[in-house]
Structure 1
Amino acid sequence: MSDFSISELQKLHDLAFNVARIARTYMREDQLRRRKVALATRKKLNSVDLVTAADEGVEKTIRDSILKEYPNHAFIGEESYSAGEEKRFLLKEGPTWIVDPIDGTVNMVHMFPVTAISIGFCLDSIPTVGVVCTLYSAIRHPQGGAWLSELGPDGPSTPLPLVSTPPPLPIDAPKGCLFFGEYGKDRRDHPQSNLTKKAANFVNMATEIGGRGGKGGMVHGIRSLGSSTMDMVYVASGQGDIMFEAGCWEWDVCAGIAILLQTGGIVVGSNPPAGLGDTDPIPMANLGGGRYLAIRGCSEDAGGRSARVQQEALVREVWKRTERLDYQRPV
């Protein structure tokens, strides 16, 4: 993994952790001001794609702090990217920070308590360090790890996943799984729209086995939290089993993927790759592809199936029950 040692990655992690805590204070103060002053918002794509002064202020705080320490690193932030004309995937091979200053802005507008500051760091285009505030964090390295902590890098922390030996996936998965997914910003109404397909996918996953023309998944529940970042880290921490998402961006998932990978989870494309055979290994999702299917880490099952075998089997079961989603960006 390039030439970064574990101690160098630890420094990056600790910087991200401390910057996230500072940014969280900024966000909390902004929320307290709402007791007296209404929150001002602007639309980006439409009325469910919002930006606030807090988003921009938090991103500036994070960017300035990181680039002060690492001026030669690249930085991709949601709000600065969204304000520009360039919509291609900008990640290069070099050290790159990918930041969502506030994921779950609509939740923040409504004061629904699921928002997150997401700070990810990539090496060789792979999410390697991630901090998600409420403070999940990880370093992807043989000597790294993933943690849940509130008191900073030197304070007490809880290793992730929360169950030290994560259980096997349910034998009849997706039956018995907890499934996370979002409706997204694309709200166009026609029979082949992404919104229509997502709604059908969620119904398929929830329906009894044998229902919906054999697509029923009988999952334990569907969770739509309004934050792809939090969906991802709940799966990483073992508090959910599946995340199925499309239409989000690299800053929504970069830090979460770093944490997921370090806890033994996998992330692949939510659409099956063209030409993939029934027994072919499933490749990792393209970070800029906008389509993600994450499966939590697990241990060997009673039949001797490895974690990876169980995870890929569940991926294929999800693919059987979901329609392909069409999100495009310039290349």
Structure 2
Amino acid sequence: MATSESDKCWRECMDVAVEVACRAGKVVQEAVKHEKSVSTKSTPTDLVTEADQQVEELIISTLRDKFPSHRFIGEESSAAGEKCILTDNPSWIIDPIDGTCNFVHSFPMVAVSIGFAVKKELEFGVIYHCFDGTLYTARKGHGAFCNGVRIQVSKEKDVSKALILTEIGAKRDPATLNIFSGNIMKLLSAPTHGVRIIGSSTLALCLIATGAAEAYYQYGLHCWDIAAAAVIIREAGGIVIDTSGGPLDLMSRRVVAAGTHEMANYIVQQLQPISYERDDSDPGVQK
């Protein structure tokens, strides 16, 4: 496919993604008002609701109807046993409700996230903040936007002036929690302005893209938590890498994102790793 032809095709795909993300977000907005049916997946803290499954079905069925040859990676379909493998084919990477625990408690940090990759390279991302209707979008080479207004990361290089975001992850055993708290203590003693946990990886990453915070790191997130947001941060001028300092591996379940290389490299140097099974491991993609 010629470059101009493919560019037009992916732009059309993104237009559909925006429409379905907004529609799905409205479903989530309505669902949060009602009693939720909640169950667990891999751990007692890894929650799923009927709304997660219904919203994913809405998104995938809509996209599959328009793009029947494309592949799909979704959080709930992966939890149900579908292989989480990224191929060279055009692939949609979907988190129907990022921040499910927040959703259950009506804590207002919940998002729909839709990423799109071709030949294993991320092409665009769409993230819809379900509580306030904020729409984040980005397409490779075309900039990042919040409600149509271009956004840019913070260019702060000094960690002592940084606000850093993270998430806890699904593992809550004492050894993991000791490493997690130790990583936070290292960053707080840098010192930094502070460390925040908001319960939604995708929205935390969007805050990096807008410059509201300087850096984000996490062990234990999934490819659907990072795919859309990675495009948005990069197009906002930021850095998204592996916690080792190497290139981002979507399936590795670990990430560092920042507005500057200096900030990202500082975070990398402070972290003690936490081990999670890869998304594309076989068996057990939901470990």
After TM superposition, the score normalised by the length of structure 1 is 0.79
Matched residue type, 2:144: A
Distance 2:203 2:109 in 1: 8
Task: Name the residue aligned to 2:156.
Answer: 169
The superposition leaves residues 235-267 of structure 1 with CA deviations (integer Å, 9 ceiling, x where unpaired) of 012111101111110001100001111111111
Are the equivalent residues in 1 in contact too, given 2:56–2:96 (CA < 8 A)? yes
Q: Report the counterpart of residue 267 of structure 1 in structure 2.
A: 240
String of CA shifts for 1:81-124, please: whole Å, max 9, x gaps: 111164xx500111100000000000011110000000000122
* Aligned residue number for residue 118 of structure 1: 113
Q: Report 1:1-331 matches (<5 A).
A: 3=3, 5-32=6-33, 34=34, 38-84=35-81, 86=83, 89-134=84-129, 135-141=135-141, 144-149=142-147, 157-161=148-152, 168-170=155-157, 173-190=158-175, 193=176, 195-207=177-189, 217-272=190-245, 283-296=246-259, 311-329=260-278, 330=281
Q: Which amino acid aligns with 1:130?
A: G
Please list the CA deviations of residues 132-158 of structure 1 after superposition, one character each: whole Å capped at 9, or x if unmatched.
0021011113xx221111xxxxxxx21
Structure 1 residues 323 and 167, CA gap change in structure 2 (3 angstroms): closer
Residues 20-77 of structure 1, C-alpha deviation per residue, up to 9 Å, x if partnerless?
Answer: 1111111112122x2xxx3110100122111001000100000011011100000010
Ranges in structure 2 where 5+ consecutive residues have no aligned partner: 130-134, 283-287
Following superposition, the deviation at residue 182 of structure 1 comes to 0.7
- Contact map agreement 2:154 2:210 (CA 8 A) in 1: no
Contact 1:179–1:243 (Cα < 8 Å) also in 2: yes
Choose 1 or 2 for highest CA Rg: 1
Count of matched residue pairs: 274
Does the CA contact (< 8 Å) of 2:154 and 2:211 recur in 1? no
What amino acid is aligned across from residue 160 of structure 1 in structure 2?
Answer: I
Q: Is the 8 A contact 2:241 2:248 kept in 1?
A: yes
Contact 2:21 2:126 in 1 (8 A): yes
Q: Is the 8 A contact 1:114 1:230 kept in 2?
A: yes
Distance 1:59 1:139 in 2: 22
After TM superposition, give the deviation of residue 224 of structure 1 in Å. Answer: 0.5
Separation of aligned partners in 1, 2:90 and 2:216? 27
Gaps of 5+ in 1: 150-156, 208-216, 273-282, 297-310
Normalised by the length of structure 2, the TM-score is: 0.90
Is the 8 Å Cα contact of residues 183 and 199 (structure 1) preserved in structure 2? no
Q: Following the alignment from structure 1 to structure 2, what is the Cα–Cα distance between the partners of residues 45 and 39?
A: 19
- Secondary structure of the 1:5 match is helix
Query: SS at the partner of 1:9?
Result: helix
Instruction: Please state how far the C-alpha of 1:205 moved relative to its aligned partner.
Output: 0.5
Cα distance, 1:2 vs. partner?
A: 7.9
Listed one character per residue, the Cα deviations across residues 171-199 of structure 1 (whole Å, up to 9, x for unaligned) are xx221111010111100113xx2x22111
Q: What is the CA–CA distance in structure 2 between the aligned matches of 1:2 and 1:284, rounded to whole Å?
A: 27
Supply the distance in 2 between the matched residues of 1:317 and 1:145 (Cα, whole angstroms): 26
In the alignment, which residue of structure 2 is the partner of 1:214?
none
Matched to 1:68, the amino acid is: D
The one-letter code matched in structure 1 to 2:100 is T
Paired with 2:63 and 2:73, the residues of 1 have a C-alpha distance of: 12
Residue 200 of structure 1 and its aligned partner are, at CA, apart by 0.8
In structure 2, do the counterparts of structure 1 residues 42 and 5 end up closer, same or farther at CA, with 3 Å as the change threshold? Answer: same
**In structure 2, how many angstroms separate the alpha carbons of the residues matched to 1:47 and 1:326?**
19
Inter-partner Cα distance in structure 2 for 1:239 and 1:255: 18
Q: CA offset at residue 168 of structure 1? A: 3.1
3-state DSSP of counterpart to 1:320: helix
Provide the rounded CA distance (Å) in 2 between the counterparts of 1:2 and 1:314.
38
